[in-house]
């Protein structure tokens, strides 16, 4: 950019300032490079632009140095080569659908999938001429029997973020690769730290950076990650045509949080394991759904493929407690907020009607499922809070409704 000319009017000099920065300045913080317009040195540079070349800056919507830095770091954490940022985890899921599928294609979706992904598949089937079929997440190699000539994509979620089944990822990806079907996994539960999808045959990993990567419960962002350049370019083209971009200020917040993510994840994991082990002994709890426990479906695959669990798990209450009574339990908690998302410092709780969410796999439990997210509060305080709420649940159960 041309330097300011002191002979020009003040307003012109404000718009075109003398902007040489002090050389040699360094800090730990990533610089925030905001831009809609990218300025080019000459027209030859403009005419040489190629959207496939990540080394070229073209337009602020597509990338700035700040967002490019975050993409690189997210890919490294996941074990991928290429990453794209989206405004939310659901937007990242949408990027996969719109980047890879067309009318007439078929997609297989696990029955324990994140419910907005289910809604997305149903919407595409209803209005865009695709077919979306749901499969038992524990099907393993049996998925081969469901693959049709027009099956182009198989979704996985490891584990299911509500019911916690851990699929045999290796068996599913092997069946998919044998038939040239692309696999995509929602890997948000592990944050890319505790499960490395590309080591198990996955083609595309989706992350909700809203969760552990942000860590503050104040940023919405998603990412698609892959090792395959052709897949990356398909996703990049779709994102470009859909006009999807992210705020570089939000990118800077995620970049600021990444150095502490592993330490936070491990802290969540330790406290969650301790509380889950204690809850498992409580008479109010019929089933513990935490992949680290042997009776959780897919525990053997968790032991084989994962190195940690983070803070998210579910329980099924004894069927003697009604859904209304479980609502009272959840609302009685003081340190657990009622909220959908997770990955931040604050603990969360939410009841689910799982039976209404399933279409392909039967749900064997009659009691109400409650999902806990264990934050960074002290374990003793969280346990005492749950004990108080369980006492109120007992009082409610002893009173006729």
pLDDT tens-digit series, residues 312-371: 999 999 999 999 999 999 999 999 999 999 999 999 999 999 877 777 667 889 999 999
CATH tag, 75-257: 3.40.640.10
Q: Whole-angstrom Cα distance, residue 329 to residue 349?
A: 10
In this structure, are strands 347-352 and 336-338 parallel, antiparallel, or unpaired?
A: parallel
**Sign of the torsion formed by the C-alpha atoms of 327, 364, 133 and 305:** positive
Residue 218: which residues within 8 A CB-CB, separation 6 or more?
Answer: 253, 344
One of 3.30.450.20, 3.90.1150.10, 3.30.2130.10, 3.20.20.70 is the CATH number of 261-397, namely 3.90.1150.10
Contact 100, 152 (CB under 8 A): yes
Burial class from Cβ neighbours inside 10 Å (0-12, 13-18, 19+) for residue 247 reads middle
Strands 222-226 and 82-86: antiparallel
Whole-number mean pLDDT of the chain? 93
Percent of the chain topping pLDDT 70 = 95
CATH 3.90.1150.10 residue ranges for the chain: 261-397
315 in Cβ contact with 369 (< 8 Å): yes
d(CA 169, CA 98) in angstroms, rounded, equals 24
Predicted confidence at residue 400, as pLDDT, reads: 58
How confident is the model over 240-249, as a mean pLDDT? 95
SS3 sequence, the chain? Answer: CCCCCCCCCHHHHHHCCCCCCCCCCCCCCCCCCCCCCCCCCCHHHHHCCCCCCCCCCCCCCCCCHHHHHHHHHHHHHHCCCEEEEECCHHHHHHHHHHHHCCCCCEEEEECCCCHHHHHHHHHHHHHCCCEEEEECCCCHHHHHHHCCCCEEEEEEECCCCCCCCCCCHHHHHHHHHHCCCEEEEECHHHCCCCCCHHHHCCCEEEEECCCCCCCCCCCCCEEEEECCHHHHHHHHHHHHHCCCCCCHHHHHHHHHHHHHHHHHHHHHHHHHHHHHHHHHCCCCEEEEECCCCCCCCCHHHHHHHCCCCCCEEEEEECCCCCHHHHHHHHHHCCCEEECCCCCCCCEEEEEECHHHHCCCCCCCCCCCEEEEECCCCCHHHHHHHHHHHHHHHHHHHCCCC
What number is the average pLDDT over the span 126-144? Answer: 96
Range 141-160 average pLDDT: 98
Whole-angstrom Cα distance, residue 355 to residue 357? 5
pLDDT at 20: 63
**Residues 162, 130: Cα–Cα separation, whole Å:** 26
CATH code 3.40.640.10 region(s) in the chain: 75-257
Name the band, by pLDDT with cuts 50, 70 and 90, for residue 1: very low
CA 271 to chain centre: 21
Q: Measured in whole angstroms, how far is the alpha carbon of residue 397 from the centre of its chain?
A: 37
Given this model, what pLDDT does residue 67 score? 95
Say how far apart CA 380 and CA 271 lie, in whole Å. 9
The contacts of residue 90 (CB under 8 Å, 6+ apart) are 116, 117, 120, 208, 222
Instruction: Determine the Cα angle at 96 with ends 132 and 112, to 5°.
Output: 50
- Check residue 399 and give its pLDDT: 66
In angstroms, rounded to a whole number, what is the distance separating the alpha carbons of residues 361 and 379? 35
Q: What pLDDT is stored for residue 358 in this prediction? A: 73
What integer pLDDT is reported at residue 360 of this predicted model?
A: 66
In this predicted structure, what is the pLDDT of residue 394?
83
Q: How far apart are CA 66 and CA 252, in angstroms?
A: 7
- pLDDT of residue 19 exceeding 70, the answer is no
């Amino acid at each position: 950019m041309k330097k300011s000319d002191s002979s020009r009017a003040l307003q012109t000099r404000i718009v075109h300032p003398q902007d040489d920065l002090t050389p040699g300045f360094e800090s730990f913080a990533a610089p925030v490079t905001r831009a809609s317009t990218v300025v080019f040195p000459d027209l030859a540079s403009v005419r040489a632009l190629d959207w496939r070349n990540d080394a070229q800056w073209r337009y602020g919507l597509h990338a700035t140095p700040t967002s490019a830095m975050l993409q690189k770091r997210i890919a490294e954490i996941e074990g991928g080569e290429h990453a794209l940022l989206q405004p939310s985890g659901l937007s990242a899921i949408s990027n996969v659908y719109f980047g890879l599928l067309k009318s007439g294609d078929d997609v297989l979706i696990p029955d324990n999938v994140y419910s907005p992904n289910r809604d997305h598949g149903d919407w595409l089937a209803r209005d865009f001429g695709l077919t979306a079929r749901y499969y038992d997440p524990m099907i393993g190699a049996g998925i081969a029997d469901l693959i049709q000539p027009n099956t182009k994509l198989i979704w996985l979620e490891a584990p299911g973020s509500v019911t916690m089944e851990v699929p045999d990822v290796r068996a599913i990806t092997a069946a998919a690769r044998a038939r040239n079907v692309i696999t995509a996994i929602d890997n948000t539960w592990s944050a890319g730290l505790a499960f490395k999808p590309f080591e198990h045959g996955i083609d595309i990993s989706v992350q909700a950076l809203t969760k552990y990567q942000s860590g503050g419960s104040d940023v919405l962002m998603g990412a698609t990650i892959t090792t395959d350049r052709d897949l990356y370019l398909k996703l990049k083209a779709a994102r470009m045509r859909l006009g999807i971009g992210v705020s570089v200020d939000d990118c800077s917040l995620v970049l600021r949080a990444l150095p502490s993510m592993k330490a936070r994840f491990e802290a969540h994991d330790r406290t969650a394991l301790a509380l889950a082990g204690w809850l498992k002994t409580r008479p109010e709890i019929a089933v513990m759904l935490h992949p680290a426990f042997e009776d959780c479906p897919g525990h053997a695959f968790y032991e084989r493929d994962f190195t940690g669990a983070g803070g998210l798990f579910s329980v099924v209450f004894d069927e003697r407690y009604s859904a209304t009574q479980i609502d009272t339990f959840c609302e009685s908690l003081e340190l657990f907020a009622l909220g959908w998302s997770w990955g931040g410092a604050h603990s969360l709780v939410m009841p689910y009607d799982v039976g209404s969410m399933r279409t392909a796999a039967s749900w064997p439990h009659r009691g109400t499922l409650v999902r806990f997210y264990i934050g960074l509060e002290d374990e003793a305080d969280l346990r005492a809070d749950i004990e108080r709420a369980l006492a109120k649940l007992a009082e409610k159960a002893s009173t006729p409704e």
